[in-house]
Structure 1
Amino acid sequence: MPEVTPRAVTTICRALQEQIEHGLLVSGNKLPAERKLSELFATTRITLREALGQLEAQGLVYREERRGWFVSPARVAYNPLVRSHFHAMVAEQGREPATEVLSARLIPANAEICQILDLPALTSVFQIRRARRIDGRLVLYVEHYLNPLYFPAILEFDLTRSLTELYARQYQIRYGRVRFDMMPTALHAEAASSLKVAVGSPALRITRVNRDQHGRLIDCDLEYWRHDAIHVSVEVPD
């Protein structure tokens, strides 16, 4: 098996990074096929993939299974202190949001969800699974778990829209106190398949536990973001 040459990897990384930084390789555009890039740099596919993997880890390029390599768009800013929702957050930054509902059903809550929402064993919850895009690119897989006590018949509504707005319009429920937990993780099979990337790809998991204006635990969100899609930006007021 051909060996990966560190010097060749560095050369490829620097060349592609320079092209990206100077706008010659445009954000969101597809890179040439691996075969063509291998010929261009007079190297092996193994060496090329090592270089692309390093650039992917830096957030400069990304790969979609069966589609190839692309130049990563600019990240969107994610400020957990700002009360907003996905569609508003993305649109306010001049980007185009979209949401696809993968499934929506009533299921038995697992132990983690029972603990998060302070529910007794063998309790049912609404689970809504969605995939979300920015400028057409899949960036977020999210699982929402709702206490059915507060949201009767919610599965009958259009769940591609903002749940925040649906809560307020149909149930007169507004978010009160929210807890965030963030940690790097690797995508499990369901999330990876939904985002069309390999299982184990790096991601940022954000768990949101939401109370309403009356202090009741109403729902939680398990968000799995592509690691190169957002940057967390927080400014604490005086």
Structure 2
Amino acid sequence: MNQAAAYLSLAAKLQQRILNGELPAGSKLPSERALCAQFEVSRVSARDALHALESQGLIYRLNRMGWFVAPPVFIYDPTRSSSIQEEAINQHRALTTELLSAGRETPPIQVSKALKQAPTQSAFVVTRRRAVDQRWVLLEVCYFRESAFPDLLCHDLAKSLTALVREQYGYRARELDVSISSTPLSQSQAQHLQVREGSPSLKLERQVKVAGEPIALEREFWLHDAIEMRVKGQGS
């Protein structure tokens, strides 16, 4: 069997095991060496088969930990006012949030412009990572105008920020300006999500306004193979 046929055959066998539930979501695949021994293929064929399954969204790799069966993608509408926690509940997914840092900083110049404040003016900055079904898939950095969110750092910032903004601070009628682009993850970003530096991500930037004035800027970095963005609209 030539190399192309070998890796395609191995990919098909592993795919069947995933689809029939023999390898459930979140389970770890055998190492490349174990696959070579079990299926009598070369290391190159085993690696090609794994990359083929990764390209189909069936498996994912954690840096220095190996390959795992991917859960279903997370469906997300970035224009909705509901929180990610609420979306996870609706989709029967397990969401984990870890607060990485929270404090007062001078934000990057682009953020200051988006918040319509002086470049030297500080803002509250909250950085968190979030896992869906035990896989870290999202790194978020949120910038809040200090004048709009007094005593923000006194709250439990590992809980829903959307609910906090809506219920504690009373900002229920909010306008959202959303932009989406693709970008490679930096070393620190990749480390938080347990992937390699330069891994592709979907960057979502959301400017939050009340009565036309910006009160916050949210930046989200999603692993590109873990999310499907859907936006509902009405045709004219």
TM-score by length of 1: 0.91
Q: Percent identity?
A: 35
Find the residue that maps to 1:24 and give its secondary structure: coil
Within the candidate set 185, 198, 211, 1:187 is matched to 185
Counterpart CA distance in 1 for 2:95 and 2:27 is 18
Equivalent residues of 1:175, 1:210 under 8 A apart:
no
Establish whether residue 221 from structure 1 lines up as the match of residue 191 from structure 2. no
Q: What do residues 149-200 of structure 1 show as CA deviations (whole Å, max 9, x unaligned)?
A: 1112211110011111112332222351101111222211121111111111
Counterpart CA distance in 2 for 1:12 and 1:207 is 40
> 1:109 matched to which residue of 2?
107
Counterpart CA distance in 2 for 1:164 and 1:198 is 30
> 2:168 matched to which residue of 1?
170
Counterpart CA distance in 1 for 2:173 and 2:47 is 45
Letter in 2 for 1:86: I
**Superposed, which structure 2 residues align to 1:13-162 within 5 Å?**
13-162=11-160
Find the residue that maps to 1:149 and give its secondary structure: helix
Q: Offset at 1:99? A: 0.7
After superposition, the CA RMSD in angstroms is 1.8
Q: What do residues 178-227 of structure 1 show as CA deviations (whole Å, max 9, x unaligned)?
A: 01111222211121111111111122111111112x22201111111111
Equivalent residues of 1:72, 1:228 under 8 A apart:
no
Counterpart CA distance in 2 for 1:183 and 1:55 is 25
Q: Offset at 1:89? A: 0.8
Count of matched residue pairs: 234
Q: Offset at 1:127? A: 1.1
Q: What do residues 50-103 of structure 1 show as CA deviations (whole Å, max 9, x unaligned)?
A: 321232232110111232111000112112343211111111111111210000
Structure 1 segments, 4+ long, off by >3 Å, are: 4-7
Find the residue that maps to 1:121 and give its secondary structure: coil
